[in-house]
A and B are shown apart, each in its own frame.
Chain A
Amino acid sequence: MGVTNGQQGRVAVQDLVKRFGPVNAVDHVSLEVSSGEFLALLGPSGSGKTTILMAIAGFEYPDEGRILIGDEDITWAPPNRRNLGMVFQRYTLFPHMSVLENIAFPLKMRGIGRAEREERARAALATVRLGQMGDRRPAQLSGGQQQRVAIARAIVYQPRVLLMDEPLSALDKNLREEMQIEIKHLQREIGITVIFVTHDQTEALTMADRVAVLDHGRLQQLGAPRDLYEAPETVFVAGFIGETNFCEGRIPHAARPGEPVSVALLGGGQMDAVAAQPLPAGQLIKVALRPERLRVLPAGNETATARVTEAIYAGNATTLMLEGQGGQLLRARIPAGAGLHEPRPGDAVRLSWQTADARAFIA
């Protein structure tokens, strides 16, 4: 094949387009996942994340673009010839087969003999820590156990790539968090490439090496969790990942990404920020600023820039609701136990922030 073994699990999606009627469900998306990487496809419903996964799995065929695994073009290959592992949202275990028969099924389809089948299925079952459950029926297992069996079934034939379509969304919160860590460990252990669809940003940030954020079929940003949170590139990513204050205003001159800008806020007042993307002059600008990056300092009446309207205590932090001079509503988060000033409702305060933490976008 001309590819070294190390690149067998590389997945490349090139300029993918999928239309459903007049809607572009996937709109010219390109992304590359290297072998052994954990990529999350994150977005709200209708963002195209599942459609991309289904195109990789072979259950949807694209209108334009190509999909490569290793250096093999699999865009038009039938799903059963792609040699990928797939874990579905619902567990989709075969109810008429035992747990072990479920896991051995892909091996049976590959013509592997009974003895080897059983041995490998047992090994896969042990990998997902369900060693004793082989003879049970899927219906006799809990949701979390069923999903583990589904994972064992998807990795038993050692595929290059494992696709997961919101596999944890049916589980309750505690179990979900436990499984997130477990899947992450398993992925590192066997060194498989994982493409994981989720609408849960915490899940994506916790599990993935890199996250592709999608909205309306377009790729908004592809980056490490830290980059998405700290250096969002579009206003959608800034609003979608984590909590953010948005202040609207205008700038007098155009600015290139990274350049400092002084934004004239709509309600009055100036705000120092950094351009996160090319900003044309005169257009409406949105400045994004994380609540925990906003410093709240005590102030006299003449130096005050905001007033506290509410203080919400939540144990590890206190959230302040603030009203700026121009009537802007802002939130600030003050971590508990750091000895920081904690003003009360009605207090006048002065707000400050590092210019680099305030990122300006086209609204």
Chain B
Amino acid sequence: MRSRAQRHNRAGRMALNAAAYAVTVFLLLPTLIIAPMSVGPERLLSFPPKGFSLRWYAEYFQDTDWIRATLFSAEAGLISAVCATVIGTMLALALVRGRLPGKGLIELLVIGPVIVPHIALAVAMFLVFEQLRLTGSLIGFAMAHTVLALPFVVFTVLAALYRFDAELERAALSCGAGAFRTFRYVTLPLIAPGLVSAALFAFIISFDEAVVSFFISDLDRKTLPRKMFEDIDFNISPTLAAVATMLTALTILALLIGYGLKRSMERRARAADTGP
């Protein structure tokens, strides 16, 4: 009886695993195909590749347009990651610890960019930025991407704050630390792993954001995704596949580094209540 139930159970689990892997492969397939396409020697994108060549990668590194767009994206990503993490952390703290009126409204505003269609947001930002001459400027991109990344930062930091033992803040106060030094010496180090995830999230969101960037770019100040759009319109060269492959690899690498960093920080800051 029992072994039949176990066999049944195992069959079910295998079916579930198979389904999960099938979905994963289906989702990854386009990304996986782009990598072999990027090493084909021909001038036209083709699959499977008829040979192996890195000439499209070389093309990318020699093309100042591509490099300029990449650096611009990286700058915008870094600035908005820093801004979104700082603002988002303050917001999360206010939502958890503060006794401010209109908490619900603030929460709604934070979730806003997730709910409002990006295209609507993009049009709105374009109209405003046009007036303020912010289109095609680094500040404009940083602001737009900060807004888009903010909800993810707030939720990540909120999760870290809920895991954090608030009694430790009382302990710090009783030791003579004021509110700021309590945050600096106790709260911040303990939620830092959450902040690292949040900043990484924000950077990736900014780095591959396409819709808003499409609207607020101009001729020479544009981000990498916008440049890729233009490229697919004018000359479908395998350089595009090379860029896409590198972008994917970079994102995976960033996530892995972030994950490792977070794990090692968590291990160092293992909470006291894991003790006996």
How many angstroms between the C-alpha atoms of A146 and B274 in the bound complex? 12
Whether A110 pairs with B170 at a CB distance below 8 angstroms is: no
Contact A92 B170, beta carbon cutoff 8 Å: yes
Contact B178 A92 (CB under 8 A): no
Question: Cβ of B171: which chain A residues have Cβ within 8 Å of it?
Answer: 86, 88, 92-94
Is residue A138 contacting chain B, with contact meaning CB distance below 8 A? yes
Report how many residues on chain A are interfacial, defined by Cβ distance under 8 Å.
34
- Complex contact B177–A80 (CB within 8 A): yes
Query: Does A282 have its Cβ within 8 Å of any Cβ on chain B?
Result: no
| A109, B176: Cα distance in complex, Å | 6
Say yes or no: B167 contacts A94, CB within 8 Å.
no
Interface residues of A in 28-85 (CB under 8 A from B): 57-59, 78-81, 83-85
Distance between B196 CB and nearest chain A CB, rounded to angstroms: 14
Q: How many A-B residue pairs have CB under 8 A?
A: 84
Contact of A139 among B168, B178, B190, B272 (CB under 8 A): B272
A157 within 8 A of B: yes
Residues on B with C-beta less than 8 A from A110 are: 176
- Among A96, A106, A138, A139, which residue has the most Cβ atoms of chain B within 10 A? A96
B270 contacts chain A at the CB level, 8 A cutoff: yes
Shortest CB distance B99–A (Å): 13
Which residues of B does A touch, CB under 8 Å? Answer: 165, 167-168, 170-178, 181-182, 185-186, 189-190, 268-276
**Nearest 7 pairs of A and B residues by beta carbon:** A86-B174, A106-B175, A92-B171, A109-B176, A96-B269, A79-B173, A95-B272
Q: What are 30 pairs between A and B in contact, CB < 8 Å?
A: A59-B173, A79-B170, A79-B173, A79-B174, A80-B175, A85-B174, A86-B170, A88-B167, A90-B165, A92-B168, A92-B272, A94-B168, A94-B186, A94-B190, A96-B189, A96-B190, A96-B268, A105-B172, A105-B175, A106-B176, A110-B176, A137-B270, A138-B275, A139-B271, A139-B272, A139-B275, A141-B275, A143-B275, A146-B272, A157-B176
A-side residues, CB < 8 A to B, are 57-59, 78-81, 83-86, 88, 90-96, 105-106, 109-110, 137-143, 146, 153-154, 157
